[in-house]
Structure 1
Amino acid sequence: MKNQEKILYSLLIEIRDKKNIPTYMDYNISKDEFGHIVEMALKEGYIDNAEVLRGGIGYRVEAVLLDKAQITLKGLNYIKENSKLAKTYKGLKEIKDWIKF
């Protein structure tokens, strides 16, 4: 799996700023990988009101719904604690190159 930490950071920034609703295609990863990262963000308490829809427990991800997602205080703290990533993050338009490094 590609750099999950960078994808998580980007996901939190995009949810916080509400400029774009990120999708798995933005990161050039599978829907399952993206769903795993969103589930991790939910489990850790970084975001609320996101949904990962599966065909059943343990099944492949069918959809990831972020249109109502909100960042939490814990998510804002994650962004703050990873400020070194902020120096190089330029948004979803350049995300694929940013993840490589």
Structure 2
Amino acid sequence: MTKKFLLTISLSMAVGGLLHAQDDLIKKISDNKTQGKAGYTFKRTIDLATTPIENQGSSGTCWSYSTNSFLESEMIKAGRTPVPLAKIYTARCSYIDKADNL
């Protein structure tokens, strides 16, 4: 009985400490904001051509989007016109291959 009680108290104190640490971090970040100043301005040194950003929604196939975006960017880098690749088709074929291997 006492071991469970002590364990419960220890865990609740640890979780409370973590939450307090998170609050401190948020306060430090909010204190770090510039007050009335424009802040830092980024300067472009290299401007590379890219394909447009695409929204994957809640499909859970970020790996397919990032891989195909990399391939499209490599087409631009090689001096070719980028072909828009179907992200969902890549994921679908991968899932079919996984199902065949079961």
- When normalised by structure 2's length, the TM-score is 0.19
More helix per residue: 2
- When normalised by structure 1's length, the TM-score is 0.19
More strand per residue: 1
Where relative contact order (Cα < 8 A, 6+ residues apart) is larger, the structure is: 1
